[in-house]
Structure 1
């Protein structure tokens, strides 16, 4: 069983087809097909069903996938261990929630790149609903995210970095009956729903928007009020562009770093964790 065959297998799943996998890996499409045929011959079962232009995993493919991912992960980690030095180097992929990526992380990235120039840093969005899988499958090495103050996960090693405030903001001197809310996948959406259960008025409208930045811009334009992390709106509050009200939910969120509990913590990951506030 060759590693390149396993990488081809994983890439087909990641990109959704043999042709796209060939483009990504720099092989001819016939080579991709040959890799899978050799792997299927060795295993004795088909890994994919070819349904026209679409390929889907067979039951055997589904069962084999986690083992293939583990082999690839262990190979990658073994190479990192062998070439490991005191100075962090090589690849590091960070998954970050939208609010942190825009308002919290840029200065940290700048400091990290200045301090560790040999690290090739990649930043990706996190999928809140599939975060454990993103980390387990090595799509990202570390996740940085906003979660509730009581957040726990049996699959992840969690580092609470700092407590944050969730503030109710509205435009100054403007009456508004609209409540602008995040998508349901957002970690603090349940807190907003709890607030609305006890404080909403019959005349209030609830408007769901797809991004934190969109919500803030709409509040600044006077289209409604919203509950957002304080670090997102601190500048506008300090400048008097937004006002905020105290609620019992203020101390309900925090900023976390997380990695999979079985993840080997490399020098790169340690360097990042030590730099975080």
Structure 2
């Protein structure tokens, strides 16, 4: 079983077709087709259903996929082991939630690059609904994210960096009745959205108007303009509260309902690059 055949198989799935895979790998489309035919002959089962211009994995293809990924990852790991020196160098891909990417990670990245300038750091957005797959496929080596304080995962190795609190905020200036009763919210996949919904339900305010916005920064700007209230991680609004630009409203939420975590796949080999990054993160846990 040749590695190039496995790589072709994976790329077809990631790219969404034989032609796109050929373009990405720099092969002729006939070569891509030949790779898959040889792999199918070796396995004794078809891996793809060809449905006109579209393709889909067969049942055998779905069964084979995790093993193909394991073999590809093992090959990559063996190369890293042979190349890797004591000094971290080369690529490191970190997935990060938007709030941390904007309000906490910049100082971590600055510290990391100061100590490990030979590492090519790539920060990518987390797909919360597909995080395990992102880590399994190697799209990212590890994730830094905000989750509930009791978060657990069977597929991931997770480490809590520090507990965090949520702050209910509003403009310090007088607002009209609509604005004082309107909640500016994140999308449902956000880890603290259910906590906010539970709080509103407990307060008997499930029918309050909601405006859903795509980012923490957009929500903050709208609160600053007096468009409504919101509930956000305290680290993302601390500076504005300290300056009096935002007003924190007392709630009866538990003190630390959320936390900052690192996560990587349970089968992931922790390279010296990743180990160095995790160490820097933990050194910043009190910052």
Q: Deviations over 1:124-156 (max 9, x none)?
A: 111222222221222211110001111111221
Q: Write the mapping of 1:35-54 to structure 2, written as runs, cut at 5 A.
A: 35-54=35-54
Asked whether the 8 Å contact 1:183–1:208 carries over to 2, the reply is: yes
Instruction: Please list every run of 5 or more consecutive structure 2 residues that lacks an aligned counterpart in the other structure.
Output: none
Q: Deviations over 1:90-117 (max 9, x none)?
A: 2211111111111111221222223222
The answer to whether structure 1 residue 185 and structure 2 residue 178 are counterparts is: no
The answer to whether structure 1 residue 21 and structure 2 residue 21 are counterparts is: yes
Instruction: Please list every run of 5 or more consecutive structure 1 residues that lacks an aligned counterpart in the other structure.
Output: none
Q: Which moved more, 1:198-207 or 1:117-126?
A: 198-207
Asked whether the 8 Å contact 1:177–1:203 carries over to 2, the reply is: no
Give distance in 1, aligned partners of 2:59 and 2:196: 41
Give the SS at the match of 2:232. Answer: strand
State the shift of 1:208 in Å: 2.0
2:226 to 222, 225, 239: 222
Give distance in 1, aligned partners of 2:159 and 2:35: 40
Asked whether the 8 Å contact 2:197–2:206 carries over to 1, the reply is: no
Give the SS at the match of 2:6. Answer: helix
Asked whether the 8 Å contact 1:161–1:257 carries over to 2, the reply is: yes
Q: Write the mapping of 1:145-156 to structure 2, written as runs, cut at 5 A.
A: 145-156=145-156
Give distance in 1, aligned partners of 2:134 and 2:241: 35
Q: Deviations over 1:32-64 (max 9, x none)?
A: 222112211211221111222211111111010
**TM-score, normalised via structure 1 length:** 0.95
Q: Deviations over 1:158-196 (max 9, x none)?
A: 111112121000111233210111111111111001110
The residue that corresponds to 2:209 in the other structure is: 205
2:248 to 241, 244, 249: 244
State the shift of 1:202 in Å: 7.5
The residue that corresponds to 1:92 in the other structure is: 92
* Aligned residue pair count: 277
Q: Which moved more, 1:142-151 or 1:172-181?
A: 172-181
Give distance in 2, aligned partners of 1:252 and 1:69: 36
State the shift of 1:201 in Å: 4.0
State the shift of 1:203 in Å: 7.0
The residue that corresponds to 1:142 in the other structure is: 142
Q: Which moved more, 1:250-259 or 1:196-205?
A: 196-205
Cα RMSD (Å): 1.5
State the shift of 1:27 in Å: 1.9
Give distance in 2, aligned partners of 1:13 and 1:174: 54
The answer to whether structure 1 residue 235 and structure 2 residue 239 are counterparts is: yes
Q: Which moved more, 1:61-70 or 1:130-139?
A: 130-139
